[in-house]
Amino acid sequence: MKILDVLVVEDNLMTQAVIADTLIEAGHSVAGLARNFTEAMQVARNRAIDLAILDVSLGSPDGDGIHIARELQQLHNPDLIFITGTTDINLLERIKETSPASFLSKPFQKLDLRMQLDLISRKRTQATAKTDFIFIRDGDSLINIRVSSVVYAEAAGNYTCVYVLNRKKPFTITNNLQNVRNQYFPDLFRISRSSLINLAYLDSLGRDSLTVQLTDTVNPELKSLKISAEARSELLKRIPKAGAR
């Protein structure tokens, strides 16, 4: 099952807490909690988002849940789940135009939300399994690489440098890091605004840095990368630990 990074946009704090608890119980990650457009964009510009769960009527002057969903689609193109108590036909038509993954009526049951999370997670897992290789341009050639062999990726302005196992020279993709992650490497873990890693090659984790394996030799070559405090906290939730303190 793919662990989903989920943004929750809900102005009712009690409902917000119920959704967050449901996500954690289902094994997913709460990328952020927001009550309005401004808070949602603050999260979206700093975190990768697989799914957004949005209340349609936020009671905020800077945009409803549908407006926020459209902005998120420009940044991350996440799956969308709308939650609302409205029966207004015009509003429902606006929701349909965003092609959401699901729509839940208030008051919703936690079991219904869990079911939708499972369906979206399965869909993303299957999509990743079907595309375990991509072709990347290298000069005048197209090189076939396995997605699972990507060790890490780094932003370089409007370009992205992709480092593959056992290859010293990175591939350069003419696209920014966020778009590259969304299109080709959705399972890479964001350790900072400029770096993503494949957790399969994580070698060690320090207080503000980590190392990844660049080769699969007996004495693997290692690369040290900076990790943000927020990303480190999230990473500690995902990796098995023994004797941690």
- Condensed to tens digits (0 to 9), the pLDDT of residues 175-195 reads 888 888 877 888 899 999 899
Residue 83 and residue 109 in contact, taking contact as beta carbons nearer than 8 Å? no
Residue 58 and residue 91 in contact, taking contact as beta carbons nearer than 8 Å? no
Residue 127 has pLDDT above 70, yes or no: no
Question: Which residue has better confidence, 217 or 161?
Answer: 161
> Which CATH fold topology does 133-238 show?
OB fold (Dihydrolipoamide Acetyltransferase, E2P) (2.40.50)
**What digits encode the pLDDT tens for the residues 53-93?**
999 988 777 788 999 999 898 777 899 999 988 778 888 88
CATH 3.10.310.70 fits 5-129, yes or no: no
* pLDDT more than 70, % of the chain: 96
List Cβ neighbours of 229 (8 Å cut-off, separation of 6 or more): 208
pLDDT value at residue 221: 93
pLDDT value at residue 68: 94
Rounded distance between C-alpha atoms, residue 235 and residue 190, angstroms? 9
Of the pLDDT bands very low, low, confident and very high (cuts 50, 70, 90), residue 128 is low
0.85 surpassed by pTM = no
How remote is the C-alpha of 171 from its chain's centroid?
22
pLDDT value at residue 175: 86
Element containing residue 220 per DSSP (H, E): none
Give the helix ranges, DSSP H, for 131-228. Answer: 177-183
Extents of the domains making up the chain: 5-129, 133-238
